[in-house]
């Protein structure tokens, strides 16, 4: 599943090529996504409108229009966005096409169709967007996501630290891959209670989360199975994995064998030497 770095990489790839272009036609496949595609509503709101920006919030892409309307796109497990020549052959799993006034199309491709497209109408866009993200925590790079904030949110919480930092209500966009890597690099066992971390440990963990996400963005994300960026290129951060997907292999830091454990329904990779059992 694309996580924050992968979505940010796609955003960075799309933004400079979409800004200032006008949507002149919209097409959809007949196959449903996770939620129905608002085809007729998009035609009414977006045709003739110019794209002003492409933003990201958590793991969502937000494409804004000059009318103040916007579309929010979630990539699901296998979704991707790309820009193609209008007359180029569509791919098997292309589901939404936004034709632009420069002879190209923005296309949403999703093999498993767990992604979603939501329209925010111009007249109520600000209210709808605020409601949509009301329960979403701060961005990990934002000033509001401080060690003090995380320490306060974790107070009295017995939940495993890995589940805690993956909770989008607490902090936005830290998925399974980067939670595993960040906890290893901070020498924190993923089963440890969130409330047990000291202020110093929270500061260190937040710094590591930010660096891990930043490094992944610079590497174009992580390609585990079929992730590609907006230009069709795979990311290569996976070559930097120190624990994720390395069960049974030797830890490069201490020489212990990395183990795999299920925590909160997600695969967790742990070095018993570097991440001591709580």
Number of domains forming the structure of the chain? 2
19 is catalytic: no
Mark whether 119 and 176 lie in a shared domain.
no
Domain endpoint, select from 79, 105, 132: 132
CATH of the domain at 234: 1.10.8.50
Mean pLDDT of 26-44: 94
Q: Tell me the CA distances in angstroms from 15 to 81, 168, 268, one per residue in order.
A: 11, 25, 34
pLDDT for res 240? 63
pLDDT for res 40? 96
pLDDT band for position 235 (cuts 50, 70, 90): very low
**Domain annotation covers residue 251:** yes
Mark whether 35 and 115 lie in a shared domain.
yes
Q: pLDDT tens for residues 97-142?
A: 999 999 999 999 999 999 999 999 999 999 999 999 999 999 999 9
pLDDT for res 1? 66
86 is catalytic: no
**Domain annotation covers residue 140:** no
**Domain annotation covers residue 221:** yes
Mark whether 67 and 14 lie in a shared domain.
yes
pLDDT band for position 223 (cuts 50, 70, 90): very low
Q: Tell me the CA distances in angstroms from 33 to 8, 75, 109, 174, one per residue in order.
A: 22, 10, 10, 24
Mark whether 106 and 175 lie in a shared domain.
no
CA gap 93, 20 in Å, rounded: 27
**Domain annotation covers residue 211:** yes
**Domain annotation covers residue 121:** yes
Domain endpoint, select from 66, 101, 132: 132
Which residue is catalytic, options 139, 201, 266, 272?
Answer: 266
More confident residue, 9 or 66: 66
CATH of the domain at 13: 3.20.190.10
Sequential DSSP letters for the chain: ---HHHHHHHHHHHHHHHTT-BEEEEEE-SS--SS---HHHHHHHHTTPBEEEEEEETTEEEEEETTS-EEEEE-TTTEEEEEEETTSPPPTTEEEEEEETTSEEEEEEESS---EEEEE-GGGHHHHHHHHTTT----TTSTTS-HHHHHHHHTT--SBHHHHHH-TTTSTT--HHHHHHHHHHTT--TTSBGGG--HHHHHHHHHHHHHHHHHHHHTT---SSS---TTSPPP-GGGG-SSTT-TTSBPTTT-PBPEEEEETTEEEEE-TTTS---
Q: What are phi and psi of 171, to 5 degrees?
A: -145, 135
pLDDT for res 230? 45
Q: Which domain holds residue 219?
A: 147-270
pLDDT at 86 over 80: yes
**Domain annotation covers residue 277:** no
pLDDT for res 220? 64
Give percent of the chain with pLDDT exceeding 70: 92
Mark whether 106 and 174 lie in a shared domain.
no
pLDDT band for position 272 (cuts 50, 70, 90): very high
Domain endpoint, select from 132, 161, 181: 132
Mean pLDDT of 182-187: 96
pLDDT for res 5? 87
Which residue is catalytic, options 6, 8, 11, 59?
Answer: 59
2 is catalytic: yes
125 is catalytic: no
* Whether the Cβ atoms of residue 9 and residue 2 lie closer than 8 Å to each other: no
């Amino acid at each position: 599943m694309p996580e924050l770095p992968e979505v940010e990489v796609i955003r960075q790839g799309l933004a400079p090529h979409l800004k200032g272009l006008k949507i002149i036609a919209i097409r959809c496949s007949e196959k449903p996504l996770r939620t129905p595609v608002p085809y007729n509503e998009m035609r009414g709101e977006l045709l003739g409108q110019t794209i002003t920006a492409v933003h990201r919030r958590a793991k969502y892409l937000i494409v804004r229009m000059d009318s103040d309307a916007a579309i929010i796109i979630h990539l699901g497990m296998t979704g991707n966005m790309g820009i193609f020549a209008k007359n180029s052959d569509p791919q098997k799993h292309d589901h939404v096409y936004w034709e632009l006034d420069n002879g190209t199309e923005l296309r949403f491709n999703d093999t498993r169709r767990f992604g979603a497209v939501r329209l925010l109408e111009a007249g109520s866009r600000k209210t709808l967007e605020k409601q949509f993200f009301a329960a979403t925590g701060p961005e990990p790079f934002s000033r509001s996501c401080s060690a003090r904030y995380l320490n306060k949110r974790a107070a009295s919480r017995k939940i495993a630290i890995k589940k805690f930092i993956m909770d989008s209500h607490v902090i936005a966009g830290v998925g399974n891959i980067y939670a595993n890597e960040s906890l290893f690099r901070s020498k924190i066992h993923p089963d440890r209670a969130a409330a047990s971390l000291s202020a110093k440990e929270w500061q260190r963990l937040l710094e590591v989360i930010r660096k891990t996400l930043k490094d992944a963005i610079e590497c174009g994300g992580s390609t585990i199975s079929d992730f590609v960026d907006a230009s069709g290129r795979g990311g290569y951060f996976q070559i930097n994995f120190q624990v994720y997907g390395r069960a049974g292999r030797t830890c490069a830091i201490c020489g212990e064998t990395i183990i795999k454990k299920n925590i909160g329904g997600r695969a967790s990779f742990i070095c018993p030497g570097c991440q001591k059992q709580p």
